Amino acid sequence: MSSELIVNRVPESTNNSLRAWSAADELLISHLNETKTESVLIYNDAFGYLSAHAQPRKVFGALDAKSQEKATLENFATNSLDSENFVSTSLLSEMTEKLEMGMMKIPKSLELFELFLSHFVKNASKNATLLCGFMTRNFTKHLLEIAEEYFEEVEQSLSKKKARLLVLKNPKKVSVKSMIKSIPFGDEELKQYFGVFSSNHIDYATQFLIENLEPPEVVNSALDLASGNGVLAKEIQKKFPESELFLVDDSQLAVESSKLNLKGENISFFHNNNLEDIASNSLDYVVSNPPFHVEYEIDISLPLRLFRAVEKKLVNEGKFQLVANSHLNYKPHLEKIFKRVSVVFDNDKFVVYSCYKRWDKNQEW
Ligand SMILES: C[S@@+](CC[C@H](N)C(=O)[O-])C[C@H]1O[C@@H](n2cnc3c(N)ncnc32)[C@H](O)[C@@H]1O
């Protein structure tokens, strides 16, 4: 396939220095082009560069993030590529056919790397090869240790433009290992799949938000935005057991984790990277520890887009509480979107904000 494909970041970023691929992706494609494979299983393809450049091969996209799937399909359309050649595949179910070739941009999370390897060995033929690309500055020896648990042969390519590949051959017959962890929190244990945010303890920023939650008096409907394992939704459920709860997260593994932690009748889980599944002017309360990274890159346009969507989904008296790292300085941005913004808590690391869609003198402050 020609190297002249146009691959954009989707949604667009306001930071023009961020690209939709790296030298690791280019190296992966040049190695793939040395093979005769007609189909390939692809992991962690941020904006679809790998899937697009793998054409006309059949691509099975085992993508955790809804945003990755959407970006891939949009970039296929931009380049008039056949979308029938892209088949979305769940990381949590087994495929019907065994593949000989896989390709992965190594994720930042080592646990997610392991979950991908475990998925690949279950769905690959016995002589299969998995090409894993990374920027050399992100290398750690743990990658090799994990890879050796799953493959007989683990080799590294030469580096090109500061990128390198792990070439993994001959999957081992590994015994089934649980990809779910338990995290103690208060008197409870939360469960989450490998690769879901903050895997050893409940994130400290999230804990600050929980300590500083100031919900409106009446909460009939609430959203945990970017819900991860659902820890914030669980707090809302404790305070308002009758309320209707919505959880939205871009990661399928996160959404499936939150389903393990929240039980009840009035709960809706959405695997999505925006709020299109939620009615406008319908939410009394929204809570979030919002994302601001795409892997190693900070991209502030991501949370700002979500904040604008929250404003539309709140009822007029609705309230949004979020926690953020202090250095992100969200206040001026939030003030452009919400009528009133107050700092409920701050220290040298974190800030908890309360944002009001409307504000009048009778409303709490
Ligand atoms: C900082 S974590 C917070 C997770 C959880 N609320 C907690 O406190 O542990 C941010 C979450 O945002 C999710 N995420 C990233 N981009 C998103 C988007 N566009 N829409 C919804 N969720 C997104 C990530 O998958 C991750 O689970």
Q: How far is 10 from 73, CA to CA, in rounded Å?
A: 10
Q: Whose CA is nearest to atom 27 of ligand 1?
A: 228
Last-in-domain residue among 128, 154, 171: 171
Ligand 1 pocket, residue 231 CB under 6 Å? yes
Residues spanned by the domain of 256: 180-356
Boundary (domain end) residue, out of 142, 171, 200: 171
Q: Whose CA is nearest to atom 20 of ligand 1?
A: 273
- The answer to whether position 207 is within a domain reads yes
Ligand 1: which of 289, 320, 352 to mutate, judged by most atoms within 8 Å of the beta carbon?
289
Pair (102, 155) in one structural domain:
yes
Q: Which of 171, 200, 220 lies at the terminal end of a domain, its last residue?
A: 171
Q: Which residue has the higher pLDDT, 364 or 182?
A: 182
The protein residue whose alpha carbon is closest to atom 4 in ligand 1 is 228
pLDDT tens digits, one per residue of 145-175: 999 999 999 999 999 999 999 999 999 998 8
Per-residue pLDDT averaged across 225-242, rounded?
Answer: 98
Interval between CA 111 and ligand 1 midpoint (Å): 17
Q: 3-class SS at 71?
A: helix
Q: Which of 305, 321, 246 is nearest to 273 (CA)?
A: 305
Is pLDDT above 90 for 361? Answer: no
What digits encode the pLDDT tens for the residues 291-330?
Answer: 999 889 899 999 999 999 999 999 999 999 999 999 999 9
What's the pLDDT tens digit per position in 9-37? 999 888 888 999 999 999 999 999 999 99
**Residues 201, 65 share a domain:** no
Cβ neighbours of residue 197 under 8 Å, at least 6 residues apart?
A: 203, 228, 229, 254
The answer, yes or no, to whether any atom of ligand 1 lies below 6 A from the CB of 228, is yes
Provide the H-helix boundaries in the chain: 23-32, 49-53, 66-78, 110-123, 141-150, 204-211, 231-239, 252-261, 301-313, 331-337
Same domain, 212 and 87: no
Residue 18 in 3-state DSSP? Answer: coil
Is-contact 60 41, C-beta < 8 A? yes
Are residue 274 and residue 248 in the same domain, yes or no? yes
User: Which residue, chain included where needed, has tokens 């799949």?
Assistant: 193
Q: Could you tell me if the CB of 206 is within 6 A of ligand 1?
A: yes
Ligand 1 centre distance from Cα of residue 259 (Å): 15
- Report the pLDDT averaged over residues 233-244: 97
Q: Is residue 336 part of a domain?
A: yes
Residue 5 maps to a domain: no
3 state DSSP class of 180 = strand
78 and 101, same domain (yes or no)? yes
How far does residue 292's CA lie from ligand 1's centre (Å)?
Answer: 9
Closest alpha carbon to 321 in 281, 283, 347, 295: 283
152 and 208 share a domain?
no
Number of domains, the chain:
2
Neighbouring C-beta atoms of residue 124, cutoff 10 Å: 22
